[in-house]
């Protein structure tokens, strides 16, 4: 059965803007350049959407090559909601993705002697929001499992697998800690995202306030008391890969944070990753496996938002925008090859 997407006009405009950015990235024919000029001149909203999409994907260099076609609108900042919905396009792409379940021996050992009061988990392709007793809010991504233990002195979450965003209810006398592998992230009232990666390193992104971190945690009781403030805090807009050989703190702008957290709306945003890199992320959310049979397409750059639940939409977009053919059986494995040249 075909899927029918009913979108508001603003979403349709954003969809078209996203399509044009994807086409710009691969290069426009003379006819497409004229079609783009016509579309932009139809409405100021079209031009604004195109420039917002270009800013979001860091593709302003693509537009600068076409500066003679139209005048750039005044640059403006736009909120997270617009950033998340702006790339609702590439023909309403979508899918639920996943990785196979795994256990983390380090955190399993840490929690073994520390009784959890509750355990929350999501299945492959599922997201879930949980409000804890102190009003802290957890958002669990696909295939995630977290154990919760609250005491009079501390609030302790142990991330056993997957990815978690938490908005911490402020309580200076009772810090909240997230333990992942042998890493510990602690806050008294802030918001941050923690992901156990395939490499078993831990990605931390702070979205509000600041947090303290500790590594090589051997005993979960460390989380029962405040960490030393001598450690440099990780602040809003910063990211660090804990456990990486070079665990440098990097700064993220609002657009990058919007892209990283788009999973909370059931989406994945790509901003020029290679096809091979994109498929690694896509496979976090689905039992379907992808194989790039034609290695010449592995480095094709992918830009757009992929919405949960529609692998057919993904393969259609790959064909229409990147001339990549997809073939497979029963949704278990999809083989990608370069399409025939017309």
What's residue 117's pLDDT? 76
What's residue 11's pLDDT? 57
Give ∠ CA 86-91-96 in degrees, rounded to 5.
Answer: 85
Q: Which residue has the higher pLDDT, 107 or 333?
A: 333
Mean pLDDT of 102-115: 45
**Burial class for 248, CB neighbours closer than 10 Å (0-12, 13-18, 19+):** exposed
Q: How confident is the model at residue 40 (pLDDT cuts 50, 70, 90)?
A: confident
Residue 329 has pLDDT above 70, yes or no: no
Q: Give the distance from CA 39 to its chain's centroid.
A: 30
What's residue 276's pLDDT? 94
Residue 45, H or E segment: helix 44-56
47-82 pLDDT, tens digit per residue, is: 888 877 776 665 666 666 556 566 555 544 444 444
Structure tokens belonging to residue 276: 């091979």
What is the torsion angle, in degrees rounded to the nearest 10, for the CA atoms of residue 77, residue 80, residue 83 and residue 84? 180
What's residue 78's pLDDT? 43
197-224 pLDDT, tens digit per residue, is: 988 999 999 999 999 999 888 777 788 8
What's residue 56's pLDDT? 64
Q: DSSP class of residue 243?
A: T
What's residue 68's pLDDT? 57
- List residues bridging with 147 in a β-sheet: 119, 158
Q: Which residue has the higher pLDDT, 313 or 100?
A: 313
What's residue 6's pLDDT? 30
What's residue 59's pLDDT? 60
- Give the closest residue to 49 by CA, choosing from 25, 15, 95, 6: 15
Residue 180 has pLDDT above 90, yes or no: yes
What's residue 128's pLDDT? 95
**Domains in the chain: boundaries:** 9-86, 105-255
Q: How confident is the model at residue 342 (pLDDT cuts 50, 70, 90)?
A: low
**Beta strands 176-180; 155-161: pairing state:** parallel
Residue 121: how many CB atoms within 10 A of its CB?
Answer: 16
What's residue 290's pLDDT? 93
Residue 9 has pLDDT above 70, yes or no: no
CATH fit for domain 105-255, picks 2.20.25.90, 3.30.70.360, 2.60.120.1440, 3.30.390.30: 2.60.120.1440
What's the chain's average pLDDT?
79
Residue 99 has pLDDT above 80, yes or no: no
219-277 pLDDT, tens digit per residue, is: 777 888 888 877 779 999 999 999 988 878 999 999 999 999 999 998 998 888 999 99
What's residue 112's pLDDT? 42
Q: How confident is the model at residue 114 (pLDDT cuts 50, 70, 90)?
A: very low
Residue 308 has pLDDT above 50, yes or no: yes
Q: Which residue has the higher pLDDT, 101 or 290?
A: 290
What's residue 240's pLDDT? 96
Q: Give the distance from CA 9 to its chain's centroid.
A: 25
What's residue 313's pLDDT? 81
């Amino acid at each position: 059965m075909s899927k029918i997407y009913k979108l508001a006009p603003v979403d349709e405009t954003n969809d078209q803007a996203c399509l044009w950015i994807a086409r710009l990235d691969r290069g426009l024919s003379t006819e497409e350049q004229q079609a783009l000029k016509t579309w932009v001149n139809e409405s100021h909203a079209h031009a604004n959407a195109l420039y917002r999409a270009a800013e979001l994907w860091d593709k302003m260099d693509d537009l600068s090559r076409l500066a003679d076609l139209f005048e750039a609108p005044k640059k403006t900042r736009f909120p997270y909601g617009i950033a998340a919905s702006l790339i609702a396009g590439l023909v309403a792409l979508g899918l639920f993705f996943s990785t196979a379940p795994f256990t983390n021996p380090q955190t399993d050992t840490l929690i073994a002697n520390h009784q959890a009061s509750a355990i929350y988990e999501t299945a492959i392709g599922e997201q879930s929001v949980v409000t804890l007793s102190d009003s802290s809010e957890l958002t669990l991504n696909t295939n995630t499992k977290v154990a919760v233990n609250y005491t009079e002195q501390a609030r302790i979450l142990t991330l056993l697998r997957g990815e978690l965003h938490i908005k911490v209810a402020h309580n200076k006398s009772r810090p909240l800690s997230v333990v992942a592998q042998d890493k510990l992230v602690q806050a008294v009232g802030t918001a941050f995202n923690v992901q156990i990666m395939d490499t078993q390193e831990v990605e931390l992104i702070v979205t509000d306030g600041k947090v303290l971190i500790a590594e090589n945690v051997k005993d979960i009781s460390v989380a029962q008391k405040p960490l030393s403030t001598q450690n440099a805090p990780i602040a809003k807009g910063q990211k660090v890969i804990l456990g990486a050989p070079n665990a440098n703190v990097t700064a993220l702008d609002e657009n990058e944070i919007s892209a990283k957290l788009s999973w909370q709306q059931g989406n994945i945003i790509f901003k020029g990753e290679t096809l091979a890199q994109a498929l690694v992320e896509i496979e976090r959310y689905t039992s379907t496996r992808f194989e790039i049979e034609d290695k010449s397409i592995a480095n094709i750059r992918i830009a757009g938002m992929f919405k949960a639940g529609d692998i057919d939409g993904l393969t259609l977009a790959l064909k229409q925008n990147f001339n990549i053919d997809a073939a497979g059986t029963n949704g278990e494995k999809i083989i990608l090859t370069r399409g025939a040249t017309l």
